[in-house]
Each structure stands twice: as structure tokens, then as C-alpha cells.
């Protein structure tokens, strides 16, 4: 029988006499280190739709370029969107789009993978910035292409890797 594993306490929850209260973690005593994170989101299209977008663009224009700009902007503003995130001065944000070589094959749903890498030198990690960047870029792809088919969906927003800080490097099992 497996022993139950004890999870660490949540850093953004403080137990008080009146119950649990949310709080922003004080990172003032942490040393600044190089930090980076990679996240992804998948935009899944009905068969044949993605191939046309990659070949001809979408009904609203250059899909990936508008989505790239939106993802970068969103990553830079994560501290304004997620209440307990610290505002960070990002050193770098990169949005990349990957489509399978077989995009457009008859009977096969097509997926566009959106990857966002964020980096900074700071006292706290950039995981949320990478995830927000990937998410907003994926949402922008949806907005730019929804006129072609309402069956487009966004799925699998996830952290793939983080580096830096006290906990070092972490990678998802598969990416």
C-alpha cells in the first residue's frame, strides 16, 4: 500500500484566527536569479481547416503574427491579470507556433501548438507569464479563425519546463 504523500502548504494562503486568507508572497528576501519557463497551449481545428490557414491566412489576416504580438503583450501584463502574481520585468518573451507535418490530412483533426518561453532575472518565477502568453496567443488564434468553423477549440494549456530559483529545473514528463 502506498503511503499518502504530504503536499507542501500553499504559499498564497495564510491561516488566521478567522480562517484562511489569500496573500501575496513576500519575495523581498529572495536573491535574484536567472529564471525561465516554457508553456504551451493547443488549438485544435476540424480536419482541413488548419492547412488552409497556414497556406492562405485567416479571415482577419495574419493569424500567427497577430497572435504572437498578443501573447507577448499578455505575458508582459500577467501581474495585472493574476491577482497574486508579482509584476516582473521580463527580459525575453518568445511565442512559437508548431503545426504537424500532416496538417490537412483527410479525416484528421489538426492542432496548432502554441509555445511561449518567458525569461527574467528576478526573485520569483515566470511560469505564469509563460502560461498566460501561450493562453492569450491561443485565444487570439481562435478569434482570428472562428469565422471559418465554430468547432475550433483550445486545450492542454500547461507548463512544460521551469528553470531557476531555489527549486531549480523542472520538466513535464513528456513534451
| pLDDT per residue as tens digits for the range 80-97 | 999 889 999 999 999 999
17-56 pLDDT tens trace: 776 777 777 777 788 899 999 999 999 999 989 988 888 8
Mean pLDDT of 61-75: 96
26 is known as an active-site residue: no
Give the closest residue to 53 by CA, choosing from 145, 119, 126.
Answer: 145
pLDDT of residue 65: 95
* Complete domains list, the chain, with CATH: 32-162 (3.30.70.640)
Do 54 and 99 touch, CB atoms closer than 8 A?
A: yes
Strand partners, 119: 36, 92
- Global pTM? 0.83
- On whether the CB atoms of residues 160 and 146 are closer than 8 A, the answer is no
Average pLDDT over residues 158-171: 94
- Predicted pLDDT of residue 13: 55
Question: Is residue 105 over pLDDT 90?
Answer: no
As a whole number of Å, the CA-based R_g of the chain is: 19
Question: In whole angstroms, what is the distance from residue 161 CA to residue 40 CA?
Answer: 10
φ and ψ at residue 105, rounded to 5 degrees: -60, 135
Residue 102 has pLDDT above 60, yes or no: no
For 68-82, what is the mean pLDDT? 97
Residue 104 predicted with pLDDT over 50 = no
Residue among 35, 116, 41, 111 nearest 74 (CA)? 116
Cβ-based neighbours of 78, under 8 Å, separated by 6 or more: 85, 88, 128, 129, 132, 133
Using pLDDT thresholds of 50, 70 and 90, give the confidence band for residue 9. low
Burial class for 78, CB neighbours closer than 10 Å (0-12, 13-18, 19+): buried
Q: Which residues contact 101 (CB under 8 A, 6 or more apart)?
A: none
Q: What is the chain's mean pLDDT, rounded?
A: 86
pLDDT at 1 over 60: no
Kindly state the average pLDDT of the residues 2-18.
Answer: 59
Give the start-end residues of each E strand in the chain: 13-16, 19-22, 33-45, 92-98, 110-122, 153-163, 170-171
Q: Which three cell numbers stand for residue 73?
A: 503583450
Question: Which of 26, 143, 149, 173 is flagged as catalytic?
Answer: 143
Mean pLDDT value of segment 131-155: 96
Amino acid at each position: 500500500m502506498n503511503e499518502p504523500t504530504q503536499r507542501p502548504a500553499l504559499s498564497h494562503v495564510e491561516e488566521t484566527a478567522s480562517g484562511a486568507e489569500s496573500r501575496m508572497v513576500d519575495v523581498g528576501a529572495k536573491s535574484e536569479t536567472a529564471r525561465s519557463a516554457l508553456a504551451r497551449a493547443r488549438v485544435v481545428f476540424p480536419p482541413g481547416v488548419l492547412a488552409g490557414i497556414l497556406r492562405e491566412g485567416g479571415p482577419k489576416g495574419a493569424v500567427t503574427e497577430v497572435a504572437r504580438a498578443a501573447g507577448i503583450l499578455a505575458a508582459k501584463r500577467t501581474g495585472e491579470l493574476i491577482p497574486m502574481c508579482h509584476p516582473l520585468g521580463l527580459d525575453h518573451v518568445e511565442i512559437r507556433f508548431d503545426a504537424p507535418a500532416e496538417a490537412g490530412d483527410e479525416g484528421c483533426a489538426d492542432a496548432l501548438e502554441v509555445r511561449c518561453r518567458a525569461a527574467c532575472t528576478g526573485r520569483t518565477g515566470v511560469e505564469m507569464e509563460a502560461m498566460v502568453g501561450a493562453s492569450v496567443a491561443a485565444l487570439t488564434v481562435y478569434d482570428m479563425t472562428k469565422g471559418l468553423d465554430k468547432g475550433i477549440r483550445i486545450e492542454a494549456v500547461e507548463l512544460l519546463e521551469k528553470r531557476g530559483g531555489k527549486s531549480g529545473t523542472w520538466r513535464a514528463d513528456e513534451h
